[in-house]
Amino acid sequence: MTLSTGRPARAWGGGATHRFYSVVVFVLLASLDNVAIGLVPPLYGAIADSFAVPQRLLGLVTAVSFLVSAVAAVGWAYFGDRTNRKPLLMIGTLLWAAGTGGSGLAGDYPTFLAAQLLAAVGLGAVGSVGFSVVTDLISPRRRGLVMSFWGLSQGVGTLAGTLVGGLLGATDWRRPFLLLTVVGVAATAAYLFTYDIRRGQSEPELVDALAGGAEYDYRISRADLPVILGRRTNRWLILQGLTAQAAFGSLVWLPVLFAERARDQGYSPSTAIVVGSVFATLFQLGGVLSIVGGLIGDALQRRTPSGRALVAAVGILAAVPFYLVLFFVPIRIEVPDGAGTGAIVRAVLGSVVTEPTVGLSLLTALLALALTSANSPNWFALIADANPPEHRGTVYSLGNLVNGVGRAAGNGLVGVAFHGLRAAFPPPLNYAVGLAAFQLFFIPTGIMYWLAARTSPKDISDVEHLLHTRAEKL
């Protein structure tokens, strides 16, 4: 992980340990906001029963929350590109912690929905403003690697949310929300000890000027928005999120698919929730290999300015067949019905070795998720490469807005698809067919990355020239 630009750390107002601590805090916060996102889906059934509403209304909560968070992120990012970013991050974290706590204390569905929307507003700050800060800490040569940790932390957060929701909330769905509230408050305190990272401090073109005491004081303005959208690479990076996230958004139903398979084999609802959460968590471990995608993107980008986009395009398209296999491979679940959580987890883990179909499903899932995980670090790094420092948070948030629309559509519409398919395909087959259909959205995603590979060389070169010119003025 490269956190310096080759100059003494004190030139930036913080030592190496302080800088490392700051990156760790931002990466962990990126994971925590995804814990909050992943907390609800494993508990759809329990929360729906508690409020006496259909499960699809809980799917609607998740879908609307994605959208609200993405819209809020645009505002957070714009102000973050203009002002001091640390206070914004602290306020956003407190908001999502308050919303999460309110969710755990909600007595009815409308209150739960309102609390989740409050949390979503706060979550919009963590991703967009945090991304802007982290890109100012990382040199371009290592952006893919460090952004893979950033993206991986989000994936790990989603997994942790799925696991904590399913395990800790199996008997009382409110407990995970209250626990996460405490963690969110502690995270806000951790922000106090990070230092204010200077814009542009990791750019090779600006190193000498900033080390000499100059201040990079360029800030975004409304007049810059047409310039941002005028970069063709930005357009492809933003638009690909609509189809990519429609596919990714549908995958939050993985715990439900495996829980329904368990119920179909005769297991009780509480046991099925734990089984679904553990299987979904286990099968998403391939996301850890996003580090490989980031490293390959860094290496290929040093050879050609199209490198990152090409890595993402190949990974996305190659993953589609593996997803289709994953949903239809039959799994025989052998766990002690009604046993404690620990016994069920051990039985599921043991089935990876003792049950061939589980082992095959795990291998298929690892390959599928390893390939699609090349998307995340290279998308983050491309946004940083193709935009000057004062635009990055806003470009990220615009991409995240489209991502939110796509994810909300994927998460919400796949629930409708499950319901519509039920007449022709009884559960759990309706879930498998619906999820498989939504993975086809990865095909246009891969095509848009290929188009970005054709436009990125010019856009990256233009930004480098712009920063050289500004350095001379500084």
Asked if residue 235 belongs to a domain, the reply is yes
In angstroms, how far is the first alpha carbon of the chain from the final one? Answer: 28
Residue predicted with more confidence, 6 or 33: 33
Kindly tell me the burial class for residue 432, based on how many C-beta atoms sit within 10 Å of its own C-beta (0-12, 13-18, 19 or more). buried
Q: What is the largest CA-CA distance in the chain?
A: 72
Asked if residue 372 belongs to a domain, the reply is yes
| Residue 23 amino acid letter | V
In the chain, the percentage of residues whose pLDDT exceeds 90 is 23
Q: Are residues 141 and 256 in the same domain?
A: no
Say how many C-beta atoms besides its own lie within 10 A of residue 223's C-beta.
7
Asked if residue 165 belongs to a domain, the reply is yes
Question: For the chain, what is the radius of gyration of the CA atoms?
Answer: 22
Q: Are residues 162 and 237 in the same domain?
A: no
Asked if residue 60 belongs to a domain, the reply is yes
Q: Is the pLDDT of residue 224 over 70?
A: yes
Asked if residue 413 belongs to a domain, the reply is yes
Q: Are residues 359 and 436 in the same domain?
A: yes
CATH number for the domain that contains residue 58? 1.20.1250.20
Q: Are residues 21 and 98 in the same domain?
A: yes
How many separate domains does the chain show?
2
Last residue of a domain, one of 198, 214, 237: 198
Asked if residue 335 belongs to a domain, the reply is yes
Say how many C-beta atoms besides its own lie within 10 A of residue 12's C-beta.
23
Provide the token pair at 381: 């790094």
Q: Are residues 392 and 303 in the same domain?
A: yes
Say how many C-beta atoms besides its own lie within 10 A of residue 330's C-beta.
9
Q: Is the pLDDT of residue 8 over 50?
A: no
Q: Are residues 325 and 435 in the same domain?
A: yes
Q: Are residues 41 and 152 in the same domain?
A: yes
Q: Are residues 333 and 430 in the same domain?
A: yes
The tens digit of pLDDT for each residue in 355-396 reads: 887 788 888 888 888 898 888 889 989 999 999 988 888 898
Nearest in space to 41 (alpha carbons), one of 247, 233, 280, 229: 280
The tens digit of pLDDT for each residue in 296-309 reads: 999 999 999 999 99
**How far is the C-alpha of 73 from the C-alpha of 398, rounded, in Å?**
8
Token pair 């308050």: residue: 98
pLDDT at 7: 39
The alpha carbon dihedral of 442, 443, 444, 449 has a sign of positive
Q: Are residues 362 and 255 in the same domain?
A: yes
**How far is the C-alpha of 426 from the C-alpha of 419, rounded, in Å?**
10
In terms of residue numbers, what domain contains 133? Answer: 15-198
Q: Are residues 415 and 307 in the same domain?
A: yes
Confidence of residue 88 (pLDDT cuts 50, 70, 90): confident
Contact at 8 Å (CB) between 77 and 397? yes
What's the chain's average pLDDT?
83
Q: Are residues 176 and 91 in the same domain?
A: yes
Q: Are residues 264 and 161 in the same domain?
A: no
Asked if residue 1 belongs to a domain, the reply is no
Asked if residue 220 belongs to a domain, the reply is no
